[in-house]
Amino acid sequence: MSRVNPLVFAMISLLVFCSTPLAAFEVLVLDQNGKPVKDAYVAIPEGNIEQAEETPAIMDQLDIAFVPHVLAIDQGQAVVFPNSDNIRHHVYSFSQPKKFEIKLYQGVPEQPITFNQPGLVALGCNIHDSMLGYIYVSP
């Protein structure tokens, strides 16, 4: 089993009151040393989401890496895990929001994986220990 490096993950909730329907702002996420955080995801609540996106999101595998490194989806949304490499991968997650495993495969698995619980899902490949990716499931 591969060791999952800690991911500095930031979720910032902002409530903006303004008279115009659109407001522009910039968010800078810093780590404990004041350095910018790469691949940070900032969630800004817009109210209640009635229904998850029906179109599956895509977490590809390309050049022995998950692409994108961090994927943000809605709770209840499905994700397809195509393997665009010319080698096999064995994708898995032991994270509480969604534990799953797609054993050695090439191409596109027959069924997408649905993520019904909110939270951060860490991904790995049982064959390539350096492959780490994350899916943020937004409530």
Q: Which CATH architecture group holds 57-138?
A: Sandwich (2.60)
C-alpha pair distances (Å), 125 with each of 68, 90, 109: 15, 5, 15
Boundaries of every domain in the chain: 57-138
Q: What is the pLDDT of residue 22?
A: 56
Assign 3-class secondary structure to 76-130: CEEEECCECCCCCEEEEECCCCCCEEEEEECECCCCCEEECCCEEEEEEECCCCC
- Spatial neighbors of 50 by CB under 8 A, at least 6 apart, are none
- Top-confidence residue, 49 or 86: 86
pLDDT, residue 73, reads 94
List, for residues 64-99, the tens digit of each pLDDT value.
999 999 999 999 999 999 999 999 999 999 999 999
Q: What's the pLDDT score for residue 101?
A: 97
| Predicted pLDDT at 41 | 66
